[in-house]
C-alpha cells in the first residue's frame, strides 16, 4: 500500500492544491502516495450542519464541537487504522525534519485541521495517542496549509519521488546543519565569481569547503542548531 494522508477539514476543496503539482503531484498520479479528505461537516447532527459553538466561559470566537469532530476522526481511523493521528495546532511540538522522516517511514497520517479558535479539548483528551504538531510560532486561520506543509515534506522523502535518493543527504537539517551555498554557470556573473574550490575538480577539497560553509552559516544564523550540533559531534570530533 502506498503512503496515505487522510485530511479532516471543513474545506476539502483546498486539496490537493499545491500537492497536485510538480514532483509531488506526479508521485500521486504514479500511485506513490494517496490523499483522502473527510468533510468534518458531514458529521454534524442537526439540519443546519453546525460544527462549532460559542466557547464555554465566554470570550471571542467559536470552538469546534467535540461530538462532530470525534465522529469525523473516528471515520478516518476506520478507513486508515494504522495511520498516525496528528492535530495541527500552534500549541503542538514544532515540526522538524526528523519528525517528517519518522512520519514518512510509517504507513501514513490522519491530519486533523482546526478552524476558528480550535477544537474542544475533550477530543484531544479522548484521542490521547494523537500527536499535536505546529509548523511554527505564528498563527494561521486554519490547519489546511499546515497539513499541506507536513504532507509535502513527507512525500518528497518517499522512494522514487525525487530523482536521486542521494539528493536528500546534504540537505538542510539532515546532518544537523543548514546547507552550504549552491552555484551554477556562468562562472562569472556581474563580476561575481564561483568559488575557486568548486571548479577545482578536487572532490575532497570540495567536500571540506561545503562542510565549512554549512558550519559557518549554521553558526551565524541558527545558534540553537549549532549548539545541538556541537553537543552531538563532541564525542566524534
**Site size for ligand SAM, by CB under 6 A?**
19
- The answer to whether 140 is annotated as binding is yes
Contact 154, 104 (CB under 8 A): yes
Given the rule CB under 6 A, which of 7-15, 113-121, 184-192, 211-219 is the region that contacts ligand SAM? 113-121
Contact 15, 35 (CB under 8 A): yes
Q: Is 90 in the site for ligand SAM (CB under 6 A)?
A: yes
Residues forming a β-bridge with 6: 36, 110
Among 67, 71, 117, 152, binds ligand SAM (CB under 6 A): 117
Name which of residues 122 to 151 contact ligand SAM (CB under 6 A).
134-136, 138-143, 146
Report, in Å, the least distance between residue 85 CB and ligand SAM: 14
Given the rule CB under 6 A, which of 17-25, 32-40, 87-95, 200-208 is the region that contacts ligand SAM? 87-95
Cβ-proximal residues to 30 (8 Å cutoff; 6+ apart), any chain: 160
Nearer to ligand SAM, 108 or 143 (CB): 143
Which of 111, 86, 103 lies closest to 35, judged by CA? 111
User: Could you tell me if residue 58 is left (phi over 0), alpha (psi between -120 and 50 degrees) or otherwise beta?
Assistant: left
Contact 37, 7 (CB under 8 A): yes
Annotated binding site for S-adenosyl-L-methionine: 114, 135-140
Binding site for ligand SAM (CB under 6 A): 88-91, 113-115, 117-118, 134-136, 138-143, 146
Amino acid at each position: 500500500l502506498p503512503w496515505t494522508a487522510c485530511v479532516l477539514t471543513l474545506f476539502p476543496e483546498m486539496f490537493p492544491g499545491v500537492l497536485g503539482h510538480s514532483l509531488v503531484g506526479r508521485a500521486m498520479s504514479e500511485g506513490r502516495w494517496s490523499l483522502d479528505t473527510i468533510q468534518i461537516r458531514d458529521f454534524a447532527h442537526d439540519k443546519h450542519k453546525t460544527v462549532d459553538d460559542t466557547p464555554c466561559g465566554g470570550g471571542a470566537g467559536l470552538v469546534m464541537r467535540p461530538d462532530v469532530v470525534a465522529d469525523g476522526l473516528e471515520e478516518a481511523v476506520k478507513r486508515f487504522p494504522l495511520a498516525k493521528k496528528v492535530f495541527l495546532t500552534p500549541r503542538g511540538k514544532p515540526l522538524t525534519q526528523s519528525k517528517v522522516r519518522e512520519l514518512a517511514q510509517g504507513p501514513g497520517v490522519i491530519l486533523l485541521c482546526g478552524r476558528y479558535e480550535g477544537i474542544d479539548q475533550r477530543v484531544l483528551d479522548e484521542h490521547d495517542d494523537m500527536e499535536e504538531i505546529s509548523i511554527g510560532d505564528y498563527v494561521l486561520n486554519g490547519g489546511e496549509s499546515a497539513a499541506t506543509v507536513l504532507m509535502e515534506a513527507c512525500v518528497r522523502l518517499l522512494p522514487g519521488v525525487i530523482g536521486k535518493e542521494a539528493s536528500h543527504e546534504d540537505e538542510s537539517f539532515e546532518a544537523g546543519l543548514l546547507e552550504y551555498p549552491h552555484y551554477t554557470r556562468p562562472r562569472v556573473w556581474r563580476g561575481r565569481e564561483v568559488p575557486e574550490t568548486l571548479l577545482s575538480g578536487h572532490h575532497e577539497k570540495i567536500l571540506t569547503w561545503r562542510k565549512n560553509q554549512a558550519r559557518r552559516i549554521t553558526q551565524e544564523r541558527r545558534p540553537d542548531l549549532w549548539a545541538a550540533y556541537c553537543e552531538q559531534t563532541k564525542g566524534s570530533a
